[in-house]
């Protein structure tokens, strides 16, 4: 992760009230758009966090940077009870 991204994460957390405030919502969904200008590539996903059980779900419609860039098609990732899974 580059320096600018590392600086933006705390600012994003602050704007949203921090991780603790998000966990009170219990179920959060957002679109994540990661653009690597150096590689001229993107990862675009819809992500969902369900707190109180720690379930995380992501559907990557574009994944050319961090998530299986050599594979075409939609990729699903899940973490349930601390156990990661991925499928195409």
16-74: pLDDT as tens digits: 788 788 778 888 898 989 898 888 999 999 999 888 777 889 999 999 998 889 989 99
Residue 1 pLDDT: 57
In this structure, what are the phi and psi dihedrals at residue 23, rounded to the nearest 5 degrees? -65, -25
Q: Which residue would you say has higher pLDDT here, 47 or 3?
A: 47
Give yes or no for residue 9 having a pLDDT over 80.
no
Q: Please indicate, yes or no, whether the overall pTM of this predicted structure exceeds 0.95.
A: no
């Amino acid at each position: 992760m580059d320096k600018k991204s590392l600086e933006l994460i705390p600012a994003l957390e602050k704007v949203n009230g921090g991780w603790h405030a998000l966990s009170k919502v219990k179920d959060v969904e957002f679109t994540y758009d990661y653009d690597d200008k150096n590689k001229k590539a993107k990862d675009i996903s819809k992500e969902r966090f369900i707190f109180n059980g720690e379930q995380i779900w992501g559907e990557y419609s574009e994944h050319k940077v961090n998530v299986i860039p050599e594979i075409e098609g939609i990729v699903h990732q899940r973490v349930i009870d601390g156990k990661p899974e991925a499928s195409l």
